[in-house]
Chains A and B, each alone.
Chain A
Amino acid sequence: MAKSGTVGQPGSAYMIVDQDKAVRRHTFAVIVDNEPGVLARVIGLFSGRGYNIESLTVSTVTADESVSRINIVTTGTEMVIEQIKAQLSRLVPVHDVHDLTLEGPHVERELALIKVRAKDHQRRESLRIADVFDAKVADTTLESFVFIIDGDTGKVDSFVDLMRALGDVEVARSGVVAIGRGTEMVTV
């Protein structure tokens, strides 16, 4: 009887949940008071509730430095993503939470500095690839380059992967910053 549960029963709310285990990637812009501990609150929320952080960046964004914008890229099922938004909104110093992925088209950029140590052919090849990716040389020695590249996460990933094939690589990445397209503004 009940042991078999309600699997397949029409109208079961849980069928929705069960079917929708698809994990998606969402980018949030979280507008917060620039006060001590606010970043710890946000990060603690993610670790405490077992949510993922793919990338997180933060900086003040107003002239008086009273407000910060935290950009978070996270993954989860639809229900988890909804929870993340609700949980973030509940934090007292949080003004507003924008799920940019839901709100419409937006621009996402990352900045990366990549040091490649290579010689001869590999060295020349790294420079050619950098050219293709529109990466600039920020520093050079006879045996190394530091490239600077910006773009979406996928582009940066591809560039780093190619560089790894050419020599020893050290990577510093900024994490994602994002903003909606068009005239509409996120008020702070």
Chain B
Amino acid sequence: MAEKLTGAEIIIKALADQGVDVVFGYPGGAVLPIYDALFKQNRIRHILVRHEQGAVHAAEGYARSTGKPGVVLVTSGPGATNAVTGLTDALCDSIPIVCLTGQVPTHLIGNDAFQECDTTGITRPCTKHNYLVKKVEDLSRTMHEAFYVATAGRPGPVVIDIPKDVQFAATDYTNGKSASHKTYKPKLKADRDAIEQAADLLLAAKKPVVYAGGGVINAGPQASKLLTELVRMTNFPCTLTLMGLGAFPASEPQFLGMLGMHGTYEANWAMHDADVILAVGSRFDDRITGRLDAFAPNSKKIHIDIDPSSINKNVRVDLPIVADAGHALQDLIRIMKARQRKPDAAAMERWWAQIDEWRARDCLAYGASKEMIKPQHAIRRLYELSKTTGKDTFITTEVGQHQMWAAQHFHFDKPNRWMTSGGLGTMGYGLPAAVGTQLAHPDALVVDIAGEASIQMNIQELSTAVQYRLPVKVFILNNEYMGMVRQWQELLHGGRYSESYSEALPDFVKLADAYGMKGLRAMGPDDLDGTIQEMLDHDGPVIADILVDKAENCYPMIPSGAAHNDMLLGPVEEGKDAIGEKGKVLV
């Protein structure tokens, strides 16, 4: 008979059996047995972050850039509560995370013990599922089931709360690597009928648009290939959500750019005027639709999503297809090919002529300047110069204007190269996500495109980068403002910049120095290329503090509560109201 293992050893064994090579964590009293078990083995690498929120974001960066689940280990009480923002972030963006939390011993649960909190209660609404393991006999099964739940169907974060006595108790280990769940079995294959109908609708379309999102990326690189094949084969225009960037190559002529609140003129107008919309792994989020009663009013909508609750939530669709994006796209391509028909060529020609007219507005253009670095320009130069490195390039971001400019001006030709907090919009996401991404891709170029306000929210993770010699580049578009807040205050609140100025900023170059990394600064357009090049050439971590135009706003913009064909392309004329009364209450 096999030797009995302690709970802590079972955890490590289960992780190894799941193919986990790295865990992001932070120790504490309630997880000491697990840390002891970690110490005695060398299959799993532990990355010591500096804050538990950072652990979860790092695991998210790891997960999004590899397609594998990210693993987190934190202690009870404050360790668990610090992880909550990261868990919520992963839930909103459908990122597979398994988060192990220590808990006080079972006999103390409910006693207000030291560092006790109701972890399963607190994390219930911010996880896909969670467990409290009260018996060591349940531990192996729960560990393996958690990986299944985190990755099956629409992925998400799963918490396993493990009391300390369970970590010490011993029992037999059962390998359930191929574990499933007795009732949770998401549907992967689409109904054949629905796919047939979709093919009919698409082949009859005169003004079609493919609108794809993060679900395609979550379905694996093969799904992105299939999406690309479908778009090429049909000659349809394709737009992507913030979460979907990279699912279709940005360099393809059929790419309209991102859609939604800060999407391109051509993408939003195409959605508005479309007669058939094929939504794949995208969820008609409010950042995408704008005003609902004016969203794509004359279109038939086909919606492929693995999560039935995403369908008909905000927008009524004509043809719901519950399936994995990859499976559904594969079936759709096969059936469309078998039809041996092409979409109406004359109609497509007219549609592309119309789209070209919209494109000619050149909505992402920005005023050039010899005095100030335009933030958009900084990103374009970063993009161009990063291409010359010949390295695989991964971009993470913080949240704000810089994030939107990055989405607009940095181009992605492959999936899993773009990590941004889309659903929750978490400032402080980018740096830890870059740490996790760089760990998974040691030889790649990983850049966190940051704002000077956001970067301070998890700045402590610079230490982690330095400790593990991770050459992440923090590219700060420093406008001395919470720029996105300032922009809304300008549009909505008469330019009263209440608390949105970043006063008392640290000297980021000195800060870099203090952390033991390289610090650079670009003061004006003449330093820009040189600074970026120096950052790219340095083989360790770098902060590049790019002083940009403080007044620049992010356009195009669909003001909240407005319709797609009502977008702002530039500053609003004096005396005009950009946002209606109804829009003001929206976020």
Is A40 an interface residue, CB under 8 A from the partner? yes
Complex: A47 Cα to B210 Cα, angstroms: 35
The digit string for A88-108, where 1 denotes a CB below 8 A from any CB of B, is: 011111110000000000000
Identify the 5 closest CB pairs spanning chains A and B, nearest first. Answer: A86-B309, A6-B297, A92-B129, A12-B297, A5-B294
Q: Is A13's CB under 8 angstroms from B318's CB?
A: yes
A to B CB contacts below 8 Å, 18 in the list:
A1-B565, A2-B562, A2-B566, A11-B297, A12-B298, A13-B296, A13-B316, A14-B294, A14-B297, A18-B293, A37-B132, A41-B124, A48-B125, A79-B312, A82-B312, A90-B307, A94-B183, A95-B183
Q: How far is the CA of A5 from the CA of B312 in the complex (A)?
A: 21
Asked if B313 and A14 make an inter-chain contact with CB atoms under 8 angstroms apart, the answer reads no
Using A14-B293, A83-B309 as known contacts, say yes or no to A37 and B183 having CB atoms under 8 A apart.
no
Contact bitstring A140-162, B, C-beta under 8 A = 1, else 0: 00000000000000000000000
> Which of chain A's residues have a CB closer than 8 A to the CB of B299?
13
Of the residues B124, B297, B312, B565, contact of A37 by C-beta under 8 Å: B124
Residues of A close to B183: CB separation below 8 A:
33, 92-95
Neighbouring B residues of A48 by C-beta, 8 Å: 125
Least Cβ–Cβ distance between A92 and chain B, in angstroms: 4
Asked if A87 is at the interface (CB within 8 A of a chain B CB), the reply is yes
Minimum CB–CB distance from B96 to chain A (whole Å) comes to 14
**Would you call the interface of chain B mostly helix, strand, loop, or mixed?**
loop
Contact A5 B293 (CB under 8 A): yes
Smallest CB–CB gap between A85 and chain B, Å? 9
Contact A44 B316, beta carbon cutoff 8 Å: no
Q: Is the CB of B124 within 8 A of A40?
A: yes
* Identity of the chain B residue whose Cβ is nearest the Cβ of A37 in the assembled complex: B120
CA distance A3 to B291 in the complex (A): 10
Whether the pair B125, A44 counts as a contact (CB closer than 8 A) is yes
Q: Which of A2, A3, A13, A33 has the most CB of B within 10 A?
A: A13
Decide if A3 touches B566 in the complex (CB within 8 Å): yes
Which one of B130, B296, B308 contacts A89 once the chains associate, using CB atoms below 8 Å? B308
Q: Which of A3-58 contact B (CB under 8 A)?
A: 3, 5-7, 9, 11-14, 16-18, 33, 36-37, 40-41, 44, 48
Look across to chain A and name the residue whose beta carbon is closest to the beta carbon of B295. A14
Closest to A35 in B: B131
B168-186 vs A: 1/0 string, CB under 8 Å? 0000000000000111100
Most buried by A among B182, B299, B316: B316
**B292 contacts A by Cβ under 8 Å:** yes
Please classify how large the interface on chain A is, using the bins under 10, 10 to 19, 20 to 34, 35 or more: 20 to 34
Report B's interface with A, CB cutoff 8 A. Answer: 120-121, 124-125, 128-130, 132, 149, 181-184, 291-299, 301, 307-309, 311-313, 315-318, 562-563, 565-566
Checking A2, A16, A40, A95 against B294 with a beta-carbon cut-off of 8 angstroms, the contacting residue is A2
A83 to B310, CA, bound (A): 9
By a CB distance below 8 angstroms, the chain A residues around B298 are: 9, 11-12
- Which residues of the other chain, B, contact A9 by a CB distance below 8 angstroms? 297-298
* Beta-carbon contact of B293 and A6 below 8 Å: yes
Out of A2, A14, A90, A95, name the residue touching B309 (CB < 8 Å).
A90
Which A residues touch B181, using CB under 8 A? 92
Q: How far is the CA of A11 from the CA of B316 in the complex (A)?
A: 12
- B128: chain A residues at CB < 8 Å are 92
**What is the 8 Å Cβ interface bit string for chain A, positions 40-82, against chain B (1 contact, 0 not)?**
1100100010000000000000000000000000000001001
Pair B565/A87 contact, Cβ less than 8 Å: no
- In the assembled complex, the Cα of A152 lies from the Cα of B124 at a distance in Å of 34
CB distance from B545 to the nearest CB of A (A): 41
B568 to A: closest C-beta gap in Å: 12
Q: A86 CA to B295 CA in the complex, in Å?
A: 23
B-chain residues with CB within 8 Å of residue A87 when the two chains form the complex: 309
Query: Across the two chains, which residue of chain B brings its CB closest to A87?
Result: B309
With A13-B301, A89-B308, A90-B308 as known contacts, state yes or no: A2 contacts B565, CB within 8 Å. Answer: yes
Residues from 120 to 174 in A contacting B, C-beta threshold 8 Å: none
* Complex Cα spacing A164 to B566, Å: 58
Whole-angstrom CA separation of A6 from B129 in the bound complex: 41
Q: Report the minimum CB–CB distance from B157 to chain A (whole Å).
A: 12
Identify the closest chain B residue to A31 (Cβ).
Answer: B183
Question: Please, which residues of chain B bring their CB within 8 A of the CB of A33?
Answer: 182-183
Residue of B nearest to A7 (CB): B293
A59 CA to B282 CA in the complex, in Å? 38
Q: How far is the CB of A171 from chain B (nearest CB, A)?
A: 31
**Chain B nearest CB: distance from A54 CB in Å?**
21
Whether the pair B124, A44 counts as a contact (CB closer than 8 A) is yes
Query: Within 8 Å CB of B120, what residues of A?
Result: 37
Nearest CB in chain B to that of A45: its residue: B125
Residue of A nearest to B152 (CB): A92
Question: Closest chain A residue to B307 by CB distance?
Answer: A90
User: CA separation between A16 and B315, bound complex, in Å?
Assistant: 10
- Cα A48 to Cα B132 in complex, Å, equals 22
* Cα distance, A37 to B118, chains bound together (Å): 12
Q: How far is the CA of A175 from the CA of B318 in the complex (A)?
A: 37
Given the complex, which residues of B lie within 8 Å of A41, measured CB to CB?
Answer: 124
Alpha-carbon distance A39/B180, docked complex (angstroms): 23
Chain A: which residue is nearest B153 at the CB level?
Answer: A90
Complex CA gap A118/B313 in Å reads: 52
A87 to chain B, nearest CB (A): 5
A36 touches B316 (CB 8 A): no
Residue of B nearest to A89 (CB): B308
Residues of A within 8 A of B315 (CB): 13-14
Q: Which residue of A lies closest to B293 (CB)?
A: A14
Question: Which of B183, B307, B312, B315 has most chain A Cβ within 10 Å?
Answer: B183
Q: How far is the CB of B174 from chain A (nearest CB, A)?
A: 19
Residues of chain A lying within 8 A (CB to CB) of residue B318: 13
CA distance A160 to B308 in the complex (A): 41
Q: Which residue of B lies closest to A13 (CB)?
A: B316
Shortest distance from the beta carbon of B573 to any chain A beta carbon, whole Å: 16
- Closest-by-CB residue of A relative to B158 is A92
Given contacts A79-B313, A86-B313, 5 further A-B contacts (CB under 8 A): A12-B293, A13-B318, A44-B125, A48-B125, A83-B309
A90 to B313 alpha-carbon distance, docked (Å): 14
Between B129, B298, B309, B313, the greatest number of chain A beta carbons within 10 A of the residue's beta carbon is seen for B309
Which residues of A are found within 8 Å of B295, using beta-carbon distances? 14
A33 and B292 CA atoms in complex are apart in Å by: 38
Structural contact, B132 and A36, CB atoms closer than 8 A:
yes
Give the complex CA separation of A108 and B121 in angstroms. 32
Which residues of chain B are near A37, meaning CB under 8 Å? 120, 124, 130, 132
With a cutoff of 8 Å between Cβ atoms, the chain A residues found around residue B308 in the complex are 86, 89-90
CA distance A11 to B292 in the complex (A): 14
CB distance from B194 to the nearest CB of A (A): 17
Given contacts A5-B563, A93-B183, contact A16 B316 (CB under 8 A): yes
Least Cβ distance of A97 to chain B in Å? 11
